[in-house]
Amino acid sequence: MRVLLVDDHALVRKGLEQLLQSRGIDVVASVGSGREGIAAAEALKPDVILLDVKMPEMSGTETLRQLRGRGISAPILMLTMSREEQDLEAALRNGATGYLLKDMDHEELVPALQDALQGNNVIAKELIGSLTRLVQGSSSKPAPTPDSMDRFSELTPREMEILRHLAEGQSNKTIGRALDITDGTVKLHVKSILRKLGVRSRVEAAVLAVEHGLGKNPATQP
């Protein structure tokens, strides 16, 4: 696994680099700003990117937005001290694959990277309550519009079925077992769903689905 580290604190970067290398992870670059991170991501094509949220000049969220805008599709995990819901929501809305806290047990970091590489979303367990509130629509959001509903009409019946499972937070492997299809087939359907809905991550798709009343029960289909 090839990992890119982006964090403005040199000591944090050094510690992460040593930790990952001791676990056999190849740290392809370790940079201190969003602009450097974007350049390194485009040049080095890492498998996974670890990105800080609170950085001067260009925040982690803006860096994330630009990375996705430039077509960087690698899993991007935010690694931060911020537990604020608005930071979590902004990260997920802009295409983050996961949101981890810097005070997490160091033994949990590599498994989180591996999960992200397998197509799963990874959220710090301390923030599951915040994620649930966001998904359930406790945060103030505009009501669904006809235009947003139209996006669902482009999905095939199979994609709608998979989207209902995404709304339950299920991984590709779990969805594949439930529908008796391969993980690879699920992954292809998920990519199509993201493209048709105009979102960058499966978490965004899940949030959008829940906002529109989607669940695994076909009766809840809009």
Q: Give the pLDDT confidence of 59-105 residue by residue, as tens digits.
A: 999 999 999 999 998 999 999 998 888 888 888 888 898 899 998 88
- CATH assignment of the domain containing 165: 1.10.10.10
Q: Is a pLDDT exceeding 60 seen at residue 20?
A: yes
The answer to whether residues 27 and 126 belong to one domain is: yes
Question: What pLDDT is recorded for position 36?
Answer: 96
Question: What pLDDT is recorded for position 207?
Answer: 75
Reported as a pLDDT band with limits 50, 70 and 90, residue 222 is very low
What are the helix (H) ranges across the chain?
Answer: 10-22, 34-44, 60-69, 85-93, 109-117, 128-135, 146-153, 157-167, 172-179, 183-197, 202-211
- CATH assignment of the domain containing 96: 3.40.50.2300
- Please check whether residue 141 lies inside any domain of the structure: no
The answer to whether residues 169 and 66 belong to one domain is: no
What is the rounded distance in angstroms from the CA atom of residue 42 to the CA atom of residue 53?
A: 20
Q: Is a pLDDT exceeding 90 seen at residue 208?
A: no
The answer to whether residues 110 and 158 belong to one domain is: no
Report the greatest alpha carbon distance in the chain.
Answer: 53
- Please check whether residue 14 lies inside any domain of the structure: yes
The answer to whether residues 57 and 129 belong to one domain is: yes
Question: What pLDDT is recorded for position 201?
Answer: 75
The answer to whether residues 47 and 98 belong to one domain is: yes
When pLDDT is averaged across residues 3-22 and rounded to a whole number, the result is 94
CA dist 74 → 141, 161, 191 (Å)? 28, 25, 13
What is the rounded distance in angstroms from the CA atom of residue 103 to the CA atom of residue 112?
A: 14
Domain boundary residue, one of 108, 135, 162: 135
Q: Residues 129-157: pLDDT tens digits?
A: 777 676 665 444 444 455 555 678 888 99
Domain limits for position 150: 146-220
Q: What phi and psi values does residue 66 have, to the nearest 5 degrees?
A: -70, -35
Opening angle at CA 7, ends 2 and 12, nearest 5: 90
What's the structural domain count of the chain?
2
When pLDDT is averaged across residues 4-29 and rounded to a whole number, the result is 94
**Contacting residues for 95 by C-beta, under 8 A, at least 6 apart:** 64, 65, 67, 68, 76, 199, 200, 201, 204
- Residue 4: its H or E element: strand 2-6
The answer for 45, left when phi > 0, alpha when psi is -120 to 50, beta otherwise, is left
Tokens 């696994």 belong to 1
18 class by beta-carbon count within 10 Å (0-12 exposed, 13-18 middle, 19+ buried): exposed
The answer to whether residues 69 and 94 belong to one domain is: yes
The answer to whether residues 21 and 60 belong to one domain is: yes
Domain boundary residue, one of 81, 101, 135: 135
Percentage of the chain beyond pLDDT 90 is 43
The answer to whether residues 10 and 68 belong to one domain is: yes
When pLDDT is averaged across residues 153-179 and rounded to a whole number, the result is 86
Domain boundary residue, one of 113, 135, 157: 135
- Please check whether residue 140 lies inside any domain of the structure: no
The answer to whether residues 109 and 214 belong to one domain is: no
Average pLDDT, the chain: 84
Q: What Rg value do the Cα atoms of the chain yield, rounded?
A: 17
Most confident by average pLDDT, 75-79, 112-116, 163-167 = 75-79
The answer to whether residues 36 and 97 belong to one domain is: yes
The answer to whether residues 179 and 213 belong to one domain is: yes
What is the rounded distance in angstroms from the CA atom of residue 195 to the CA atom of residue 189?
A: 10
The answer to whether residues 10 and 66 belong to one domain is: yes
What is the rounded distance in angstroms from the CA atom of residue 90 to the CA atom of residue 172?
A: 24
